[in-house]
Amino acid sequence: MRVWYKEELEEEDKNWRTKKIVVFRHGDRTPVGTYPKDPYRNYPWPQGYGQLTNPGKLRMNKVGQYFKGRYSFLTGYKYNRKNVIVNSSYMDRCVQSAECFLSGYYPPTSSEIWDPYIYWQPIPVYTIPKKYDNIIQYSKNCPLYKKLFSDISFHDQFRMFYKKYESFFKYIENNTEINLSPHFDKLILNLGIVYDSLLIESTQYNLTLPRWTNSVYPEPLKSLLNQLIRIQLGGHEIKKLLIGPFLKLLLSEMKQKVRNINSGPKLHLFSGHDFNIVYLKVALNIYDNILPHYGSCLAFELRKKNDIHYITAVYENSTETAPYLLNIPACGSYCTLEKFEHLINSLIPQNWESACKGRDLQEEIKILIEKLKILTKTIKNELIAKSLTRLYKTTDSDYPG
């Protein structure tokens, strides 16, 4: 089994680590879609588009084993429902990846074995329905996000980007017959579909790619996708609406554990997608333009030393190499909880529902205060007017003329 960052395990007291929140990408899958002129358009993908493959199942089992080697001192070798909670996107591949992860993390031992021929035990995986999920799938309705996302097509940054690479997009469009028009939403989706299908066909199924791809795949196609991601998340408000709910949950759970060491689970797992990791890294200004591989993990660890609580971010982009500590700008690799909260606070909406309507709770309070000021001023003016009216009436009745 791989050693989890050797230099740290030799120097660190394990008791420092008191709470872990891990976001991981699902295992290897079939393409989520393809382009019209794909020569393998009718390829018999196992279970169809976007489904977990056997190599993906094996990978996630190994990821579970790796995390068991790092966190079992905290959660125990035997499954205890109070120690671990698992949330997943509603997508099949994410639910299955979580199950495979758990089969590696918690293989049954002694009294947990319920069949000598089945080396597995059922552990709950909680999914969030699509229409309510603003944590993993980002599929809960948010009108303001939709508007901001749609408006990117009219931003100067995007229009200059498209103009610069227009001939490149036309080349791909002509060879694929997929729509790469200057509309941000269609461009990032369809360009991603082309890249994804080429990647999986060539690396997982050893299929020969068309000759036209030689000049575009993997580069500059991959780099342009990264640029589009940065354009998408270039605005503060859009990051707030996308990442804010997860960051709010992360901070809440960490602070709860500080207040009461015995409260809540010790390990919280989220089975999601590559974009979950990318968006979080962009939000924290630690994205390195390397798209997360299958099974990649981003772990946030709460640690305590000398009565000071720290947050560390640990990243793993391959099951073949050791994970490493990330250096969070303006915070460092060991970031105090207080400083971490200050760092992400501006990305957390006070009320996500209100923010999605165009303004957050703080803005609504400001508006309410202004309305109260106007109302108070109006009432005051009316009282003054009434007083003057009474005064004038009194004066008129007393006037001798």
The enclosing H or E element of 256 equals helix 236-259
User: 358 exposed, middle or buried (CB, 10 Å; 0-12, 13-18, 19+)?
Assistant: exposed
The enclosing H or E element of 192 equals helix 184-203
Q: What is the pLDDT of residue 161?
A: 97
Residue type (1 letter), 384: I
Task: Tell me how far CA of residue 4 lies from CA of 7, 8, 13, 14, 15, in angstroms.
Answer: 9, 8, 14, 13, 16
Structural tokens at position 51: 């489904």
Task: Please name the residue that has the structure tokens 């997982």.
Answer: 204
- Residue pLDDT tens, the chain, 401 long: 343 443 344 345 555 568 999 999 999 999 999 999 999 999 999 999 999 999 999 999 999 999 999 899 999 999 999 999 999 999 999 999 999 999 999 999 989 999 999 999 999 999 999 999 999 999 999 999 999 999 999 999 999 999 999 999 999 999 999 999 999 999 999 999 999 999 999 999 999 999 999 999 999 999 999 999 999 999 999 999 999 999 999 999 999 999 988 888 999 999 999 999 999 999 999 999 999 999 999 999 999 888 899 999 999 987 667 789 999 999 999 999 999 999 999 999 999 999 999 855 555 566 567 667 767 766 766 666 666 556 555 444 443 33
Under the phi-then-psi rule, with left for phi > 0, alpha for psi from -120 to 50, and beta for the rest, what region is 324?
Answer: beta
Residue type (1 letter), 348: I
Length of the chain: 401
Q: Are 25 and 52 in contact (CB under 8 A)?
A: no
Q: Are 313 and 305 in contact (CB under 8 A)?
A: no
Q: What is the pLDDT of residue 373?
A: 73
Q: What is the pLDDT of residue 358?
A: 84
Q: What is the pLDDT of residue 306?
A: 86
Task: Please name the residue that has the structure tokens 């970031």.
Answer: 335
* CA–CA dist 251, 140 (Å, integer): 21
* CA–CA dist 370, 231 (Å, integer): 35
Rounded to 5°, angle at Cα 78 from 76 and 81:
85
In sequence order, what are the beta bridge partners of 25? 272
